[in-house]
Structure 1
């Protein structure tokens, strides 16, 4: 079996040590154009890094192993379990879970498939848009809102949930449509079958309107866009707690800890998105005072929401913080 591991530059040394016994796996920090000779591809990094590379692998139809730091929103396993995961893959004892994705067509141009959501918003904040919503050519409504989110089950824990959407089981064959701050209280989230073609027409706003894929890829849209099922993502599962189940558990845990001070909630969100960070990096990214960061980290560790680890970066040991994994 030939495998390709795409890893963040900051952990390439650690990854090479972990896979020392697997010479058939090639380690790179950037994706090359030709991946046809590989049987499995792994992506190692933060949610942002994983999503970026999944977009680049848009046409890849083989299995993908996602590896993160702690129990993140997208990873199948934690980086500490990479060696065990590769052993399972080489032996052929792994499962593949098909994850729904969304295909977007704007002005006849197909964009990379969305893993989490497709969001439609004015380019300028605090400006509403008008739109008409159709599902399989059936008219549902006309609305004025801040925006509109079309989400996969995977994305239901992310942007869609913060906008009032329901939590959807990862294996449910559905998509959700979530109006954002509609001016009409009757415009509630709608669940549609995963084979639906969703058309957003008659788009009007005082600002140019953007289609945003997974919070990272943006393109301007005129008066219409179509969203339909894309090719599913084949995620490798190697036993234990599924990352999707763990994601729901972690989200509920976070919601149950709303007595956290704002600084701790902010740091939790940064670690959720960025992955492992040193205290200095947290200070730089949050722009919070060092003393406030230290206090917030102590609270988060005490509540069991994050973990403190010593890792090797370059030739020296550094202390990093990450979301705490629920895997044993």
Structure 2
């Protein structure tokens, strides 16, 4: 068995820990770097939690090799199912390949006719400045659905339905649903409601305009300027995610999303802002968080204390 270890943006110690555990189990492995030559492997271990898994698939169009996401924090996510601390207890299952592989749908994206990387969660189109209306036309399979004035529009996969789209009023979807959802964010027309379409549909957002330029946000990470049109279609093949745990059914994933939503609703706004900032930016110091969020130092300190107590974040020593 041959395993690749991918850890872009993560600490080198985590990759070393993983490799030692695999060596002890007599499993051949190597750390993937930008200079690594293409090699056939049985699976790829991706460090960095959900964000790490998204980054991996953004950089790799190869979906033939299944990926096991590993979180380095206190809790696992939806794409990264296990934590670094518990990895050693799952090595035998990995070695015997006694696991299931879930096919996670992706959205292929074209911005003004140019292909960009496919996304796992969502495609969001907004004005470059918040609280400024954006005008657009939505077409599905070449038929006009609406012409709208709103804060923006989101196209989401089932995995992404528990992220940005949920906070904008979209429904939570079962992970194995063969659909995408479309949400108009704070439309001036109160009849606008989330739309569910087949994942084989062609979704076109055109005639995009605002007082300033508009942007496309992919998986909450990268921003691209858009002049007129964004096209969203199913990207094949889907991403392949390894599931080692038996309780990773669609129903248990949905229950986890409901629990997460309840916790987020009860969380102080400052804690939500810090959590979202850390999710998008990765590890930051307290000073960095204050600079990026523009919150007072005392507010940042209290919010961090709350997140640490709840286990949403962890401290890391600076070497």
- TM bucket (normalised to shorter chain) is 0.7 to 0.9
Query: Secondary structure at the residue paired with 2:155?
Result: strand
Give 1:139 shift: 1.5
- The answer (yes or no) to whether the contact 1:71–1:246 under 8 Å persists in 2 is no
State the match for 2:103 in structure 1: 98
Verify: 1:25 aligned to 2:33, yes or no. Answer: no
The one of 181, 198, 209 equivalent to 1:193 is: 198
2:119 aligns to what SS in structure 1? coil
What is aligned with 2:5? 5
RMSD: 3.0
For structure 1, the residue ranges without an aligned partner over 5 or more in a row are 315-328
- Residues 1:59 and 1:309: Cα distance change in structure 2 (over 3 Å): closer
1:182-219 deviations in Å (ceiling 9; x for gaps): 11111111000111110112222222222221122322
Q: Aligned residue pairs: how many?
A: 307
| CA positional deviation for 1:153 | 0.4
Please say if 1:242 is aligned against 2:248: yes
- The structural deviation recorded for 1:290 is 6.3
Following superposition of structure 1 onto structure 2, how do residues 307-318 of structure 1 map, counting pairs within 5 Å?
Answer: none
Taking the TM superposition and a 5 Å limit, the aligned residue runs for 1:19-168 are: 19-21=22-24, 22-28=26-32, 30-32=33-35, 34-68=37-71, 69=73, 70-168=75-173
For residues 174 and 62 of structure 2, the distance between their equivalents in structure 1, rounded to whole angstroms, comes to 26
The 1:87/1:64 distance shift into structure 2, 3 A limit, reads same
2: distance between equivalents of 1:251 and 1:239? 17
Alignment pair present for 1:252 and 2:255: no
Equivalent position to 1:293, from 293, 298, 301: 301
Measured after TM superposition, the shift of residue 259 of structure 1 is 4.3
Which whole-Å CA distance do the structure 2 matches of 1:131 and 1:9 have between them?
42
Q: 1:259 to 1:210 in 2, by over 3 A?
A: closer
Deviation at 1:127, TM superposition (A): 2.1
The offset of 1:221, in angstroms, is 2.2
C-alpha distance in 1 between matches for 2:220 and 2:120? 10
CA distance in 2 between partners of 1:298 and 1:217 (Å): 28
Whole-Å separation in 2 of the counterparts to 1:163 and 1:31? 37
Give the alignment partner of residue 223 of structure 1, picking from 214, 228, 244: 228
Q: Shift of the alpha carbon at 1:67?
A: 0.9
How far off is 1:147 after superposition?
Answer: 0.8
Deviation at 1:158, TM superposition (A): 0.5
Q: Distance in 1 between matches of 2:157 and 2:251?
A: 15
- CA distance in structure 2 between the partners assigned to 1:127 and 1:263 by the alignment: 23
| Other structure's SS at 2:23 match | coil
Tell me how far apart the structure 2 counterparts of residues 155 and 135 of structure 1 sit (CA, whole Å): 20
Q: Secondary structure at the match of 1:101?
A: strand
TM-score by length of 2: 0.83
Structure 2: stretches of 5+ with no match in the other structure? none
CA deviation after TM superposition for structure 1 residue 101, in Å: 0.6
